Structure 1
Amino acid sequence: MELQLSTPALLFSAITLLMLAFTNRFLAIASLIRGLHKSYLDAQDKGTIVKQIHNLRIRLRLIKNMQLFGVFSFLLCVICMYLLFHGFTQAANWVFVGSMGSLLVALTLSLIEIQISTKALNLELADMEEIFKKGSSGLDFIFKKDAKKDEE
Structure 2
Amino acid sequence: MDLTTPALLFPAISLLLLAYTNRFLSLAQVIRQLHASPDPSSPVVMMQIPGLKRRITMIQYMQSFGVLSFLMCALSMLALFVHSEAAGKLMFGVSIVTLAVSLVLSLVEVLVSTNALSVVVDDIQRMADKIPKS
Partner of 1:120: 116
Aligned residues: 129
1:43 corresponds in structure 2 to 39
Q: 1:90 aligns with which of 86, 89, 93?
A: 86
Give the CA deviation at 1:102.
Answer: 0.4
Q: Can you give the 5+ residue segments of structure 1 that lack an aligned partner in the other structure? A: 134-152
TM-score of the superposed pair, with normalisation by structure 1: 0.78
Percent identity between matched residues is 44
* CA distance 1:74–1:38, change in 2 (3 Å): same
Distance across 2 between alignment mates of 1:51 and 1:113: 17
Question: Within the alignment, does 1:67 sit opposite 2:63 as a pair?
Answer: yes
For 1:24, which of 22, 25, 35 is the aligned residue?
A: 22
Query: Using a 3 Å threshold, how does the CA distance of structure 1 residues 23 and 45 change in structure 2: closer, same or farther?
Result: closer
Q: Secondary structure at the match of 1:51?
A: helix
Contact map agreement 1:70 1:102 (CA 8 A) in 2: yes
Tell me which stretches of 4 or more aligned residues in structure 1 moved more than 3 Å.
Answer: 127-130
Amino acid at match of 2:67: V
Aligned to 1:106: 102
TM-score, with length taken from structure 2: 0.88
User: Can you list the C-alpha shifts for 1:2-22, whole angstroms capped at 9, x where unaligned?
Assistant: x11001000000000100000
CA pair 52-127 structure 1, distance change in 2 beyond 3 A: closer
Unaligned runs of at least 5 residues, structure 2: 130-134
Which one-letter code corresponds to 1:15 in the other structure? I
Q: 1:122: Cα distance to partner?
A: 1.7
